[in-house]
């Protein structure tokens, strides 16, 4: 068999009557019918399976994987997803190149092999490599779809928030709001299951951000009271209402982390240690 013909040959379907039946218990004709049924349905199954071969759905990508509440943090997470997917594609590319090289070596050995057992062993290796390369294509295809999805999400975010040319300093400046929003989200979820009381862990989080926990608890009490009054009126509190309340508090307390850092002798933004500074001049008083 020529090298050229081997490269064109596609690996046959392994789970088929011809390949599997000889390895099944004898005297059990039921298996033959099962394998025929499998073979008849396998094309449709392969077509359906092609919709997957990726770790998460698009829905999970923007609701479970990327969960941050500020633009640049969301962009950071999206870029991390892009980087990890690119890394996986790079590994798949290199592994496929290695498999292709092994396949060429096996084909060269096959041309020179004269012993029948040796030829059978080489053919088995070739078949294994071909099947592995064929299966790898599905996962590569899934990774390409995932990569394209997050590239589009990056474009969506930069367009929505008009941050196409953001700098590292922009990212650092947003961190105060990000952490306050994260603390609020966590504390709110915990308080709902604790009779309205903020848990110890998030009290510590607020303290590290320079926000007084008693003040936070008063804000929570007032917000829960508002929700209860709405429910009494037959109205449902909305997720948007919660987000607007959280964002208002984040804006109210956004300077607290910087002030707390200064009190301890730190600066939350050192421009000399940043790259990609744009034309806007930043200061900690902004």
pLDDT means per 10 residues, the chain with 286 residues, are: 43 68 87 90 90 91 94 96 96 95 96 95 95 92 95 96 90 97 98 97 98 98 98 97 98 98 96 79 46
Which pLDDT does position 18 carry in this prediction? 77
Tokens representing 163 are 């941050």
283: left (phi over 0), alpha (psi -120 to 50) or beta: beta
- In angstroms, the CA 225 to CA 245 distance is 13
Nearest to 20 by CA among 28, 29, 31, 10: 31
Contacts of 184 (CB under 8 A, 6+ apart): 216, 246, 249, 250
Predicted TM-score of the model (pTM): 0.83
CA angle at residue 87 from 63 to 96, to 5 degrees?
A: 125
Decide: 198 and 205 in contact? Cβ < 8 Å: no
State residue 89's pLDDT score.
Answer: 95
- H/E stretch holding 76: helix 71-112
Q: What is the pLDDT of residue 3?
A: 43
């Amino acid at each position: 068999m020529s090298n050229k013909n081997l490269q064109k040959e596609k690996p046959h379907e392994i789970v088929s009557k011809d390949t599997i039946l000889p390895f099944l218990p004898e005297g059990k004709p039921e298996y033959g019918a099962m394998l025929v049924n499998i073979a008849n349905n396998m094309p449709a199954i392969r077509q359906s399976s092609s919709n997957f071969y990726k770790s998460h759905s698009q829905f999970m990508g923007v609701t479970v994987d990327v969960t941050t509440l500020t633009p640049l943090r969301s962009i950071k997470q999206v870029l991390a997803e892009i980087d990890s997917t690119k890394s996986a594609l790079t590994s798949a590319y290199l592994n496929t190149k290695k498999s292709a090289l092994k396949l060429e070596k096996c084909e060269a050995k096959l041309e020179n092999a004269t012993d029948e057992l040796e030829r059978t062993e080489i053919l088995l290796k070739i078949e294994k490599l071909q099947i592995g390369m064929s299966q790898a294509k599905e996962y590569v295809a899934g990774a390409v779809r995932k990569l394209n999805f997050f590239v589009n999400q990056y474009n969506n975010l930069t367009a929505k928030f008009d941050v196409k040319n953001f700098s590292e300093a922009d990212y650092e400046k947003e961190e105060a709001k990000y952490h306050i929003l994260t603390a609020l989200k966590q504390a709110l979820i915990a308080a709902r299951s604790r009779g309205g009381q903020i848990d110890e862990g998030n009290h510590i989080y607020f303290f590290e951000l320079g926000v007084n926990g008693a003040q936070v608890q008063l804000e929570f009490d007032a917000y829960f009271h508002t929700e209860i009054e709405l429910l009494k009126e037959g109205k449902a509190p909305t997720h948007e209402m919660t987000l607007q309340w959280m964002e208002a508090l984040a804006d109210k307390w956004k300077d607290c982390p910087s002030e707390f850092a200064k009190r301890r002798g730190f600066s939350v933004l050192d421009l000399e240690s940043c790259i990609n500074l744009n034309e806007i001049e930043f200061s900690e008083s902004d």
